[in-house]
Amino acid sequence: MAEPIVKIENLIVEYPSHYGMVQAVDVPWLEIRKGEVLGLVGESGCGKSTLGMALLRMVRDPGHIASGHIWFDERDLVSLTEREMRDVRGRRISMIFQDPMTSLDPLQRIENHLIEAIRVHEPQTARAAAYGRIVELTDRLGIQSRRLPDYPHQFSGGMRQRIMIGLALALNAELIIADEPTTSLDVVVEAQFLDLLKELQRSLKLTILLITHNIGIVSELSDRVAVMYAGRLVELAETLPFFEEPLHPYTQDLLASVPNIELDDDQLRIMDGVPPNLIDPPTGCRFHPRCRHAQSRCSRQNPPLQEVAPGHWVACWRDE
């Protein structure tokens, strides 16, 4: 088993509201292992992207990390100064954002995006040397060097997403956070993008936190899968046992609502209800108002994340 590159302990991210503080993320424990792809899934608003942004200390203002630790290379990112975090962002932890068109400067040429990423962190690197590096990198990503002087709007969505990968790889980051990287792509370009990401991950031994709604992407790329609901982690397992035998009722309903031609049952399950408003979340297990197996205890006590089988963790009283 590979050593963890990130260890999260008792992480709470809060946002203020007119009714008090809202806990958008409440994760007692999570590890990301070196060289793996960890898929992070769940419904919209469950805290996936907020968790990813917390790893970079980029939680949107006025949100903040209220407590907890994020250990990266034996350093607690939560305790670092902003200047120290600037050395971590980009150089050691990079992010592929959902929509590259809103992440790339429309007035800046692609070559300048990539060269700037290198020279900000490596000011001793001459521009000519940085240009040589980005030519080699973009060639691997399928972007011809003659396109480097072009602007973002001159590229297709799939090519812009390749540029975002290039920005993430320009400094050989140890951890890449991919936040819904295929949202803006059609199915054909998405397949090409995923093939590229898979090839890069294997050849470069990348560590990736893959945040997505797309269960199919997770099954294809991930080594392990983590499920979040209403800001909390409810299940964590290796990919194969996760899909063969999901244990948390939320995970079961989530997978049953996704079309799968390999299943005998041709009826999709519709999950009752909607995720709770975190301004006033349910007591106990936050999924219990929608759960088919809820007991009286579920509404009173929040179940801890427990290992119920080797490498399979679940937060559910039913699987205690």
Share of the chain above pLDDT 90, in %: 62
Note whether 114 and 194 are same-domain residues.
Answer: yes
Distance CA(28)–CA(5), nearest Å, equals 17
In a domain, 216, yes or no: no
Distance CA(92)–CA(105), nearest Å, equals 22
Average pLDDT over residues 168-183: 88
Note whether 22 and 66 are same-domain residues.
Answer: yes
pLDDT computed for residue 257 by the predictor: 80
Note whether 236 and 151 are same-domain residues.
Answer: no
Note whether 114 and 61 are same-domain residues.
Answer: no
Average pLDDT over residues 154-165: 89
pLDDT computed for residue 195 by the predictor: 85
In a domain, 94, yes or no: no
Output the average pLDDT for the chain: 90
Helix axes 157-169, 127-140, angle to 10 degrees: 130
In a domain, 212, yes or no: no
Which of 19-23, 92-96, 257-261, 271-275 comes out lowest in average pLDDT?
A: 257-261
H or E element at residue 4: strand 4-17
Residue 310: give its domain's CATH number.
Answer: 3.40.50.300
Note whether 59 and 112 are same-domain residues.
Answer: no
SS3 at position 318: helix
How would residue 88 be classed by pLDDT, with cut points 50, 70 and 90?
very high
Note whether 79 and 111 are same-domain residues.
Answer: no
Is the per-residue pLDDT at 210 higher than 80? yes
Q: How many domains does the chain have?
A: 2
Which of 142-146, 173-177, 263-267, 285-289 comes out lowest in average pLDDT?
A: 263-267
Which of 49-63, 90-104, 229-243, 276-290 comes out lowest in average pLDDT?
A: 90-104
Distance CA(227)–CA(236), nearest Å, equals 6
Whole-Å CA distances, 22 to 9, 59, 151: 19, 14, 40
Nearest to 250 by CA among 270, 229, 231: 229
Q: Which residues contact 234 (CB under 8 A, 6 or more apart)?
A: 227, 228, 248, 250, 251, 287, 305, 314, 315, 316
Average pLDDT over residues 190-199: 84
Nearest to 161 by CA among 191, 131, 117, 127: 191
Average pLDDT over residues 152-172: 90
In a domain, 156, yes or no: yes
Which of 204, 231, 265 is the last residue before a domain boundary?
Answer: 204
Parallel, antiparallel, or unpaired: how do β-strands 93-96 and 312-314 relate? Answer: unpaired
User: Model pTM?
Assistant: 0.91
In a domain, 213, yes or no: no
Note whether 306 and 256 are same-domain residues.
Answer: yes
Is the per-residue pLDDT at 36 higher than 90? yes
Which of 154, 175, 204 is the last residue before a domain boundary?
Answer: 204
Is the per-residue pLDDT at 319 higher than 90? no
Average pLDDT over residues 43-52: 92
Is the per-residue pLDDT at 107 higher than 60? yes
pLDDT computed for residue 110 by the predictor: 96
Note whether 122 and 169 are same-domain residues.
Answer: yes
Which of 66-75, 91-100, 290-299 comes out lowest in average pLDDT?
A: 91-100
Query: What's the domain range around 162?
Result: 99-204
Distance CA(235)–CA(212), nearest Å, equals 15
In a domain, 270, yes or no: yes
Which of 176, 204, 232 is the last residue before a domain boundary?
Answer: 204
pLDDT computed for residue 320 by the predictor: 62
User: Which strands form 93-96's sheet, in the order they lie side by side?
Assistant: 93-96, 175-179, 208-211, 37-41, 224-229, 232-238, 312-314, 306-309
Residue 177: Cβ-neighbour burial (10 angstroms; 0-12, 13-18, 19+): buried
Distance CA(238)–CA(76), nearest Å, equals 26
What pLDDT, in 10s, does the model give residues 259-306?
765 555 566 677 888 889 898 899 999 999 999 899 899 999 999 999
How would residue 187 be classed by pLDDT, with cut points 50, 70 and 90?
confident
Note whether 83 and 129 are same-domain residues.
Answer: no
